Structure 1
């Protein structure tokens, strides 16, 4: 992705001033990664930040029962691993590429120097961390107030709105997510998730395939999600 490319709204690169963005894209080492390659591994003690230049990744964490919870999805323009790098603590999650991607590896010392020299970028990092905390709090509220069908619809809508592409079939989300990962994201048992997802499929609202999800009726999905 070129340095002057339009970055997805809300991502780290999109929030930076153009001159600051150019400086950041000159820091670190650019690398290519393959689909399904692990970029960061939970528990690892590492001191670098990853900038996603042209990438789609999923963030997961291991549960005590052996399953893996899907925590979030990150796209081109996002940064990952910043908390562990800045605090010098072990990684709290595993990050896996969902497609062939280009990333930039920035050592902690380089990133700290960049933030010192660019205070606007430091404020942007703080804002992104705050946004992620708000998202986590909203998810906990959803778990408390809404049944699984509504929680699932909300998760599918958020993913489609943020990462989907339009096609004649609807909003296509080319992200390979297991039902186990979807279940943990919705706070449900896998068997319950399967039933709720089957209902949405039978109603023609969504369809699923090996490599992703298609939202066929976005208005119906918003209605099920109880979104104004």
Structure 2
């Protein structure tokens, strides 16, 4: 089981206890409804949002009018950090996949926190660098893949970012409904159900209450066209 109540890979899981407690004191708590846009691509604003208990998707508009999935953010993550750090407009849209509790943190408070906790600043720099690398790749190729490949990529990336190893495989304690997965993959729910059923039938993944288990890592990477 995870050592921390925050999933591996999230900002709060990376911070030491002192920095974590201070960060959790910042901002104004809010409740966001399911499917609510909490950050708009192109908006001129600079606050940061901490996901106390949330599940969100990060998308960006493409030239043909479609939207590409860039990332998934869960409880313990922050969103909006790029604009807070460099003062540029929002680079993506962030939408909740379920009812979420969030904290709105002003840019000045966020930057003061980073000055007071330089190790936290280094952790955030590493997270930002990794997210940029993933986002750049997805902007180029994600939307062109079939649904089964897109689903496999989403599941693999969530597993590697937020999962932990057990006897059964990589366990991801993120509750993803089929409707949420379909939204994240940009697919019709019935098409998503078929792709997920295929992965379960051959024993690549398994789903249970509030979790996904990757049972065959190599096979999932192959389905994701990553092998």
TM-score w.r.t. the length of structure 1 is 0.72
Q: Is there any run of 5+ residues in structure 1 with no aligned partner, and where?
A: 165-169, 184-189, 208-212
Q: Kindly indicate whether the alpha-carbon contact (under 8 Å) linking 1:49 and 1:81 is maintained by their aligned counterparts in 2.
A: yes
Query: Does the aligned pair in 2 maintain the 1:153–1:225 contact within 8 Å?
Result: yes
Give distance in 1, aligned partners of 2:160 and 2:118. 31
Residue deviations 1:7-57, cap 9 Å, x none? 111110110010111111111111111111111011111120011111100
Counterpart residue number, 2:158: 159
Partner of 2:179: 176
Cross-structure match for 2:46: 47
Task: Answer yes or no: is 1:30 the counterpart of 2:26.
Answer: no
Residue 10 of structure 1: aligned partner: 9
Q: Number of residues paired by the alignment?
A: 208
Q: Which has the larger radius of gyration?
A: 1
TM-score, normalised to structure 2's length?
0.72
Matched position secondary structure for 1:129? helix
> Distance between the aligned counterparts of 1:216 and 1:115, measured in 2?
36
Please name the residue that 1:65 is paired with: 64
Alignment of 1:145-224 (within 5 A): 152-159=151-158, 173-174=176-177, 176-177=179-180, 182=185, 198=194, 201-202=197-198, 204-205=201-202, 218=216, 221=220, 224=223
Which residue of structure 2 aligns with residue 101 of structure 1? 100
CA distance in 2: counterparts of 1:140 and 1:96, whole angstroms: 18
The two structures, once aligned, show a CA RMSD in angstroms of 3.9
* 1:67–1:180 Cα contact (<8 Å) kept: no
Give deviations 1:47-69, integer Å, cap 9, x for gaps. 20011111100111112222111
1:106-117 equivalence runs, <5 A: 106-117=105-116
Change in 2 beyond 3 A, CA 1:101/1:116: same
Matched residue of 2:41: which SS? coil
Compared CA separation, residues 47 and 180, structure 1 to 2 (3 A): closer
Distance, in Å, in 1 between the alignment partners of 2:43 and 2:114 is 24
What is residue 84 of structure 1 aligned with on the other side?
Answer: 83
* 1:103-127 residue CA offsets vs partner (Å, 9 max, x unmatched): 1111101111111111111111111
- Give me the whole-angstrom Cα distance separating, in 2, the residues matched to 1:10 and 1:214: 16
Contact 2:70 2:139 in 1 (8 A): no
